Amino acid sequence: MQKKKTFLIAMSYIALLLIAIFAVFPLVYAFMIGTKNPVDAFSIPFRWIYTPTFENFKTLWIERGFTFYLKNTVVVTVSSVLISVPLATLAAYGLLRHESKLSNNALNFMLGFRMFPQMLLAIPYFLLATKWGLADTYIILILIIVAANQPFAIWLMRGFLVGVPKELDEAAKIDGCNMVQTVTRIILPVSLPGISTASIFTFLLSYNEYLFALILTQKRAMTLPVAIGQYGAEDLSYWTLSAAGVVSIVIPVCLVMIFLQKYLVKGLTAGAVKG
């Protein structure tokens, strides 16, 4: 019996290790192409061992001006996080404390907004943006991401705020805090883990956004995913360069995953798993 169990555990480790390799292999492959010179990249058979070069990154970022798209991505992402997360936190708090059937249903229904097909939104965004002169600007992208992020962020913050006891509010009231002071002095500090988690998810949503940026931006506000998706489709002789681009866009996400994994897991499970 004991032997059987040890065997089972050993097999689990081996299986998980293989799965982990399968999961990261495409990224490792992209990294290898991105750090090869074209001769190595196009050699047959595949060269597993080669002298790595960072020339591609230098060319892509400095000569090909990808820093411009990075700047756009940073502006859109940072603004989206700064606007979206406070809105969602307040909304989740207000709806939870309102404690009526209406606000409960509103919270429950939040996830339903996720089913809106992006194309159904993209067409009116395109028409309205053109009409109001907002096409190819940061403002329209930020607005869209802030709103599109609300349902998930509210759902997530609700998962965290459910754990904040109502007595805390009442204690604050007795100490003479008004509603706004209660939120800023009492609720915000205790929900900081939730706010960090919501911020990371908003960052990822905004950073990875593709369709709206593809439709609504051209020259001035194009973001990294669109630039890289299109650059890769060009001539194959740019292969190593676009691989460097793919690696660059994936690196920040890898860093988030390595250092903030706890928050990512908590964020996905906060609203779902009780206790």
Give the range of 56-64, 74-82, 144-152, 158-166 binding other proteins by CB under 8 A. Answer: 144-152
Which amino acid appears at position 126 of this protein? F
Q: Is 275 in the site for other proteins (CB under 8 A)?
A: yes
Of residues 231 through 270, those in contact with other proteins by CB under 8 A are: 232-233, 239, 242-243, 246, 249-250, 253-254, 256-258, 261, 264-265, 268-269
Taking a C-beta distance cutoff of 8 angstroms, is the pair 158, 96 a contact?
yes
Q: Is 171 in the site for other proteins (CB under 8 A)?
A: no
Distance from C-alpha of 79 to C-alpha of 161, rounded to nearest angstrom = 24
* Residue 129: how many other CB atoms lie within 10 Å: 22
Kindly provide the b/e burial profile for residues 43-82, where b requires at least 16 CB atoms within 10 angstroms of the residue's own CB.
eeeeeeeeeeeeebbeebbeebebeebbebbeebbebbbe
Collect all residues with Cβ–Cβ distance below 8 Å to 33 and sequence separation of at least 6.
41, 239, 240, 243
User: 47 is written with which tokens?
Assistant: 């060269």
Q: Is 274 in the site for other proteins (CB under 8 A)?
A: yes
Q: Is 8 in the site for other proteins (CB under 8 A)?
A: yes
x/- letters, 198..217, toward other proteins (CB under 8 A): ------x--xx-xx---x--
Give the range of 57-65, 148-156, 160-168, 188-196 binding other proteins by CB under 8 A. Answer: 148-156
Q: Is 182 in the site for other proteins (CB under 8 A)?
A: no
Give the range of 50-58, 60-68, 140-148, 188-196 binding other proteins by CB under 8 A. Answer: 140-148
Q: Is 119 in the site for other proteins (CB under 8 A)?
A: yes
Query: Which position among 60, 156, 161, 183 is part of the footprint of other proteins (CB under 8 A)?
Result: 183
Q: Kindly state the smallest distance separating residue 55's Cβ from other proteins, in Å.
A: 19
Taking a C-beta distance cutoff of 8 angstroms, is the pair 253, 46 a contact?
no
The count of residues interacting with other proteins (CB under 8 A) is 97
Distance from C-alpha of 39 to C-alpha of 231, rounded to nearest angstrom = 20
User: 202 is written with which tokens?
Assistant: 């908003």
* Residue 102: how many other CB atoms lie within 10 Å: 9
* Residue 190: how many other CB atoms lie within 10 Å: 14
Q: Is 24 in the site for other proteins (CB under 8 A)?
A: yes
Q: Is 181 in the site for other proteins (CB under 8 A)?
A: no
Of residues 39 through 98, those in contact with other proteins by CB under 8 A are: 41-42, 44-46, 87-88, 90-91, 93-95, 97-98
Q: Specify the residue for token string 């040890």.
A: 6
